[in-house]
Amino acid sequence: MQSLILGGARSGKSRYAETLAQQSGREVIYIATATAQDAEMQSRIAHHQANRPAHWQTIEEPLALATCLQQHAAPGRLLLVDCLTLWLTNLLCAEDVSRLQQETTQLLQCLPELSGDIIFVSNEVGLGVIPLGELTRRYVDEAGRLHQQLAAQMQRVVFMVAGLPHVLKGSAIS
């Protein structure tokens, strides 16, 4: 099953995704998209790492997500990708301006052919005021487009609010 878990900052989306992964009984590979650019981000990454089971394999892939998924997807395995909006940020800041479109297209095209389960975690950023800066507006627009395209392909979409899952698409999760 392919799932998309959306929510705001500190909505519980990562914790919920990790709980689902643990309950799956499958081998879990955690695909981290964050890059530690400063002390605050290093602290966030360390917090996430400390909360994950030690037996989970972690792969750090900030850009080539589709390639990583293709390499590691397998029957009986669950890939947990956290988080798509950090991946999007990495691509928006990449020197090659065409890379965002290339990587997004590759991601959307490879999903139907992947085996095993995948859980994507992403920040829903389009619920607030319209940002002032051009790059920030583009980020919100690109995240919204990505979420819509992914949600159309996912079997399950969950929106997290205050640690509570709201199933938007697919079956309820027990």
| 174 is a domain residue | no
Angle between helices 99-110 and 84-92 (to 10 degrees): 150
DSSP 172: P
- Catalytic residue numbers, as ranges: 48
pLDDT at 152: 97
| 164 is a domain residue | yes
Residue of higher predicted confidence among 134 and 44: 134
CATH of the domain at 134: 3.40.50.300
pLDDT at 171: 85
pLDDT at 98: 93
**Residue 75 Ramachandran class (φ > 0 left, ψ -120 to 50 alpha, else beta):** beta
Average pLDDT of the residues in 96-113: 96
How many Å apart are CA 46 and CA 90, to the nearest integer?
Answer: 19
In the structure encoding, which two tokens stand for residue 65, read together? 């997500």
pLDDT at 45: 67
Token pair 């095209």 is found at 109
| 131 is a domain residue | yes
pLDDT tier for residue 37 given thresholds of 50, 70 and 90: confident
pLDDT at 173: 74
**Domains in the chain: how many in total?**
1
Average pLDDT of the residues in 48-66: 88
Q: Residue 72: give the domain boundaries.
A: 2-169
Report which residue type is found at 147: H
